[in-house]
Amino acid sequence: MEKTIANKSVNINDEGYLTDFSQWDKEVGTEIAKEEDIEMTDKHWEVIDFLQDKHHKEEALSIRGIKKSGVINIKEFYSLFPGGPLKKSTKIAGIPKPKSCI
Amino acid sequence: MKNLVILGAGTSGTMMANHLISRLPKKEWKITIIDQYKTHYYQPGFLFLPFDIYTTKQVKKKGKKFIPKRVRYLQEKIELIEPDKNRVHLEHGETLDYTILIIATGTKIAPEEIEGMKGPKWHKNIFDFYTYEGSKALRDKFREWKGGKLVVHITEMPIKCPVAPLEFAFLADSYFKNKGMRDKVEITFVTPLDGAFTKPKATKALHYLLEEKKIKEVTDFNIERVDFKNNKIIDYADTEVEYDLLVTIPTNMGDALIERSGMGDDLNFVPTDKATLQTLAHENVFAIGDATNLPASKAGSVAHFEAEILTENILRYIDKKPLKEEFDGHANCFIETGNGKALLIDFNYTHEPVEGTFPFPGVGPLNLLKESRMNHMGKMAFRWIYWNMLIKGIHIPFVSATMSEKGKHFEEVK
């Protein structure tokens, strides 16, 4: 379905994740973060960059990946994106959340 | 004489030996397969062993039975792969040179990755069921267990079979019902993902199963440690879940051989082209099944489809033809839901499981994404298919390596 985020028309799925990364930009990310009650800082964006890079390389996103990222440790990750950090950070990054096969 | 060497004689390696023996000219090629273990396990059976649905005999056989006679079968530990020198070192000093290498060394559980998991309570009240030993120990525990809090837990993704933990929870519900003690058992499903089901259609079609079976869900739980003294698992957000009996899926990792040889990623999985199955680092080295880093399920079902495409690609590689970029991540699996019923799902890299019929469009007899007794019969029959057809490389009629869209209710490709 379509939604207007940051004055831009984007396609999202039922759970509010962008379905087309090319529609993403920082303003869109900031707006999605606001909906999740997150005020973006430089540290947040660093994490978002890292996740997007992993996604483009088709590498799986996991807490282990965060631990080894060199960008942030896990406790900080939780404090930046409280309550389900991976599902929230991926939503802001405009990429799919980590999924199982069902 | 040229050498094709296969590392690992599990589901993938055995299938490849069987496929290739009839396809490679015997005057030119010698095929060798190496595995340190004598036993070939039917790993999907590890799900049923704890509930006394399968016996130990039904899930293991001598591996040798399934390796073609003309294939050289070495039972030895592999010490090191030297991909730049095209050779493999075995534990007792033998060195094998290869023209083509197939890595099929699989996935192992690594409970030592989480503090307190593989401690004094391992296989006492903390169990895995992804190994023969764990599954059997859990069966013995269940036989005498008086009830309490049963926690079914996934440590981190990816895991060999992502739906097995959920099937385990469903089967536990049936098992304790049949024993007349369901009221004494509290079942909780704990996952690092945002739900027991993570795809919208499956969630919509199947979430009722959790409610019907009174299985509690704890989501977004990334375990930090097991407090085995106080029987609690604790995550990075300091959320605690208490258990009397913890059934966990530990971290899954590729074989230590891959790490020793410097060929793996963080989890020792081999970076592999997801469509051709050639490894990214070496053109004469291919990888298959759960040894790869493919963004697909690490189940035998996927390996089965990969084997058909990898066989083609190895022949093409030998003939210096471009490889087929054909593997689409196709997987096809039965999911036990307890009470003699099962679901069937069919999906690939880009399509999520949907409703429909299988394998004949509009006819079935199997239903996709719906519980039925017929699907359960299919799952039970599959053990026979595995031992008699699948690992012997005999094509299963009507089931193709790439996914068919016919007879399925797709709306759009996501």
For B6-51, how does the pLDDT look when each residue is reduced to its tens digit (9 = 90+)?
Answer: 999 999 999 999 999 999 999 999 999 999 999 999 999 999 999 9
CB of B170 within 8 Å of a chain A CB? The answer is: no
- CA nearest to B329 within chain A: A101
Instruction: Please judge whether A62 and B166 are an interchain contact, meaning their C-beta atoms are less than 8 angstroms apart.
Output: no
CB of B166 within 8 Å of a chain A CB? The answer is: yes
B410 pLDDT above the threshold of 80: no
Predicted confidence band of residue B204 (pLDDT cuts 50, 70, 90): confident
**Who wins on pLDDT, A83 or B166?**
B166
**What's the CATH number for B109-251?**
3.50.50.60
Domains B2-106+255-318 and B109-251 fall in the same CATH topology: yes
Q: Which of A15, A75, A98 sits opposite B193 (nearest CB)?
A: A98
The neighbouring-strand residues paired with B142 are: none
How confident is the model at residue B412, as a pLDDT?
47
B98 pLDDT above the threshold of 90: yes
Sole residue written with tokens 């019929």: B357
Question: pLDDT tens digits for B9-20?
Answer: 999 999 999 999
CB B272 within 8 A of CB B292: yes
Mean of all residue pLDDT scores within chain B: 94
Q: Which residues of B178-216 are buried (b: 16+ CB within 10 A; e: fewer)?
A: eeeebeebbbbbbbbbbbbbbbebbbebbeebbeebebe
Q: How far is A21 from chain B (nearest CA, A)?
A: 12
- ipTM given for this complex: 0.84
B95 pLDDT above the threshold of 60: yes
Question: pLDDT tens digits for B284-304?
Answer: 999 999 999 998 889 998 999
- CA nearest to B348 within chain A: A101
Contacts of B157 in chain A (CB under 8 A): 60, 62, 98, 100
Tell me what the mean pLDDT of segment A26-42 comes to: 96
Share of chain B above pLDDT 90, in %: 79
Contacts of A60 in chain B (CB under 8 A): 157-158, 293, 295
**What Rg value do the Cα atoms of chain B yield, rounded?**
21
Q: Which of B158, B199, B222 sits opposite A60 (nearest CB)?
A: B158
B414 pLDDT above the threshold of 70: no
Residue B87 in 3-state DSSP? strand
Instruction: Please judge whether A101 and B331 are an interchain contact, meaning their C-beta atoms are less than 8 angstroms apart.
Output: yes
CB of B198 within 8 Å of a chain A CB? The answer is: yes
Predicted confidence band of residue B318 (pLDDT cuts 50, 70, 90): very high
B413 pLDDT above the threshold of 70: no
Contacts of A75 in chain B (CB under 8 A): 236
Q: In this structure, which CATH number among 3.20.20.60, 3.40.50.720, 3.50.50.60, 3.40.50.300 belongs to the domain B2-106+255-318?
A: 3.50.50.60
Q: Which of B156, B163, B293 sits opposite A101 (nearest CB)?
A: B163
B379 pLDDT above the threshold of 60: yes
How confident is the model at residue B203, as a pLDDT?
85
A28 pLDDT above the threshold of 90: yes
Where in chain B are the domains? 2-106+255-318, 109-251, 329-414
CB B300 within 8 A of CB B268: no
How confident is the model at residue B24, as a pLDDT?
97
Contacts of A62 in chain B (CB under 8 A): 156-157, 192
The neighbouring-strand residues paired with B34 are: B7, B74
How confident is the model at residue B411, as a pLDDT?
57
Q: How far apart are CA B263 and CA B257, in angstroms?
A: 9
Q: How far is B220 from chain A (nearest CA, A)?
A: 5
Residues 345-384 of chain B with CB under 8 A from chain A are 345, 347, 353
CB B351 within 8 A of CB B296: no
3-state helix, strand, coil in chain A (%, to 5): 50, 10, 40
Q: What DSSP element (H or E) covers A3? A: strand A2-5
In single-letter form, the type of residue at position B312 comes to E
Q: Which of B208-217, B246-255, B372-381 bottoms out in mean pLDDT, i.e. has the lowest?
A: B372-381
Question: pLDDT tens digits for B116-165?
Answer: 999 999 999 999 999 999 999 999 999 999 999 999 999 999 999 889 99
Tell me what the mean pLDDT of segment B351-358 comes to: 84
Instruction: Please judge whether A99 and B202 are an interchain contact, meaning their C-beta atoms are less than 8 angstroms apart.
Output: no
Which residue out of B114, B198, B412 would a mutagenesis test of the A interface target, given it has the greatest number of A Cβ atoms within 10 Å? B198
- Residue B218 DSSP label: E
Asked if A101 is an active-site residue, the reply is: yes
Where in chain A are the domains? 2-93
Phi, psi of B327 (to 5 degrees): -70, 125
Cβ neighbourhood burial of A35 (10 Å; 0-12, 13-18, 19+): exposed
Residues 266-305 of chain B with CB under 8 A from chain A are 266-267, 274, 293, 295, 297
- Which one of A9, A42, A58, A101 is the catalytic residue? A101
B253 pLDDT above the threshold of 90: yes
Predicted confidence band of residue B101 (pLDDT cuts 50, 70, 90): very high
Q: How far is A84 from chain B (nearest CA, A)?
A: 5
Q: How far is A91 from chain B (nearest CA, A)?
A: 12
CB of B331 within 8 Å of a chain A CB? The answer is: yes
